[in-house]
Amino acid sequence: MLDCGRYPVKRSLGDEVEVWADVFCDGHDLMRAAVRYRPPGARRWLEAPMEPIGSDRWHGSFSVDALGRWQYAIGAWVDRWASWRWEIDRKLEGGQTEFSSELIEGAALAGVETLTLERALDPASAPKLPRESETTVPPLELIVDRELARFGSWYELFPRSFGGFAGVRAQLPRLAELGFDVVYMPPIHPIGRTHRKGRNNSLVAGPDDPGSPWAIGGPEGGHTAVDPSLGTLADFDRLVARGRELGVEIALDFAIQCSPDHPWLVEHPEWFHRRPDGTLKYAENPPKRYQDIYNVNFDSPDWESLWRALRDVVGFWVGHGVRVFRVDNPHTKPVAFWEWLIRDVQTAHPDVIFLAEAFTRPAMMSTLAKLGFSQSYTYFTWRNTKAELVDFMTSLTRSEWPQFYRPNLFANTPDILHAYLQRGGRPAFEARLVLAATLSPAYGIYSGFENFENVPVHEGSEEYLNSEKYEIRERALDGQLLSLVARLNAARRDNPALQRLDNITFVETENAELIAYAKREGRNRVLCVVNLDPIEPREGVVIVPAALGLPPTFRVRDLLDDTVYTWHVGRNYVRLEPGTRQAHVLRVEQ
């Protein structure tokens, strides 16, 4: 139960939902309890029995086979017949032989004229009594998403660098072959001309500079138009359709800000912040000014039509087959807006997935996830040492976070080129790729990663030099890292242990640069060891604890190169040398 039932917990299709409750009453009466649950849109409540597991704690479960918002509750009641039977049994044990008064009571309970002791003791003749004093708890909500909300491999690309929608479409078979489930594209809409940013974020754009896709809106239209240089809406539809054939989903960016040329500034000036002189007010994050961006005013007097218009933007793209949205900076918009929008969209389309791009403090990040975002960005890119990574994963899997927060570990983004990658070269990219793909069931890379692109715009910056945000790059899927990507994505699909988040156990290595962890799902077990040092070979001892339940000696297969090793509960020597082998992803063989 999240925040006293204020927010729903999350599951994905096919999951078993486990429910625990303390069930007790005064006196010695015997109780029964059940989980009650109602699939989305169903009128009737279903029920699964709960069983006592000790000290008044009861347990029950049900499985979820439909997308959307389920309800569940708990009912508990006194079993009057069983309580009566229990007393008879105790009296028999105590040597009592005369039961006439008890049998009259039992007959009254059972609603029969007379009752014999023999019949009373026959379990087959126990009457079905109406539930007495049934107590229920207020229903709680449960969001059931597609498996993709939990488990998926993402590839982020700027379509303009791949030749627009048609060019991306041509790459889809290769992306599918590499094992990607989602291709996420930054905004595809017309880009503003006024105050357009030039290359490397310069304040003045050259005549051929394409501008930042996040400066949304131009004469050609706003959030429901496509940038003509990428193709037509029909081309976009063909892209989505081809993706569907290949099992690759096209994810769009939902970024609410508007360029100075967005049609809404003229059509709906009442939706924007104004200066005292009545002119519209561009975005600021003092002392920074964003003259190429206008933020909408969620508190404007006409907020209802604004909120609906934004919801309709999402609806428009849902109508064009899009089911995955990456949401830009949701933490700077009202949480009530997101809660309403996500519920509204998912009521009609429970297969829609929203990924929150919020980098802020835990209270807001967790609240966005609780109110409905299906997935969330994280601080993964900034967690590079072993201690940082263990802390990070612990914070994501501790307490109730796994009930609502699904991290999507991007190894890089157009905004984040971490110093670790800048300095570590190819081995650093390998280490981070393996970490992202094995720590979390959802992960992603932004194109260029596979080519080891790692030059910052200037020393100390996390921005890329010649960032694709402000110019067109000619790209092809030819990076040398792609063979490792394909290996990892295949390993992820083949191993259920890599499709869950909170099944992780960190394992001692006796080396601060070697991180090791085990994941398990049913009989499937994977052990990962990564050398976090991109320069030096590191050796250590992976100490497999007995608590993992493995046999004293077992064989493991490295899913990255099919080498087979013999490992032991206890100490296993490991040496990982940058340039030769940065990591092991070992599946325990049966």
Which residue ranges make up the site for its own copies (CB under 8 A)?
A: 4-5, 22, 24, 26-28, 55-57, 86-87, 90-91, 93-96, 101, 104-105, 108, 275-277, 284-288, 331-335, 361-364, 367
Q: In the complex with its own copies, which residue's Cβ is closer, 256 or 416?
A: 256
Q: Read off the DSSP letter of residue 130.
A: P
Q: In the complex with its own copies, which residue's Cβ is closer, 23 or 484?
A: 23
Q: Read off the DSSP letter of residue 14.
A: T
Q: In the complex with its own copies, which residue's Cβ is closer, 91 or 500?
A: 91
Q: In the complex with its own copies, which residue's Cβ is closer, 29 or 430?
A: 29
Helix axes of 362-371 and 335-348: crossing angle, nearest 10 degrees: 30
Q: Read off the DSSP letter of residue 43.
A: S
Which pair of structure tokens corresponds to residue 141? 């909500």
- Catalytic residue among 15, 145, 156, 357, which? 357
Q: Read off the DSSP letter of residue 478.
A: -
A 10 A CB-CB count for 480 gives 11
**Nearest distance from C-beta of residue 334 to its own copies, angstroms:** 5
Q: Read off the DSSP letter of residue 504.
A: E
Beta bridge partners of 251: 184, 324
Coil, strand or helix at 538: strand
**Nearest distance from C-beta of residue 112 to its own copies, angstroms:** 13
**Nearest distance from C-beta of residue 56 to its own copies, angstroms:** 4
Edge-to-edge strands, sheet with 16-22: 16-22, 57-63, 51-54
Of all helices (H) and strands (E), which one includes residue 343?
helix 335-348
- Catalytic residue among 181, 249, 328, 430, which? 328
Q: Read off the DSSP letter of residue 413.
A: B
How far apart CA 53 and CA 60 sit, in angstroms, is 10
Which pair of structure tokens corresponds to residue 94? 């105590």
Whether 328 is catalytic is yes
**Nearest distance from C-beta of residue 306 to its own copies, angstroms:** 15
Q: In the complex with its own copies, which residue's Cβ is closer, 95 or 207?
A: 95
Please write down the long-range contacts of 496-499, taking CB distance under 8 Å and 24 or more positions apart.
496/521, 496/522, 496/524, 497/521, 497/524, 497/525, 497/526, 498/437, 498/438, 498/441, 498/526, 499/150, 499/151, 499/441
How far apart CA 406 and CA 403 sit, in angstroms, is 8
**Nearest distance from C-beta of residue 399 to its own copies, angstroms:** 13
Bridge-based pairing of strands 375-376 and 353-357 is: parallel
**Nearest distance from C-beta of residue 3 to its own copies, angstroms:** 8
Whether 357 is catalytic is yes
Q: In the complex with its own copies, which residue's Cβ is closer, 208 or 299?
A: 299
User: Length of the chain, please?
Assistant: 590
Q: In the complex with its own copies, which residue's Cβ is closer, 104 or 203?
A: 104
Catalytic site positions: 328, 357
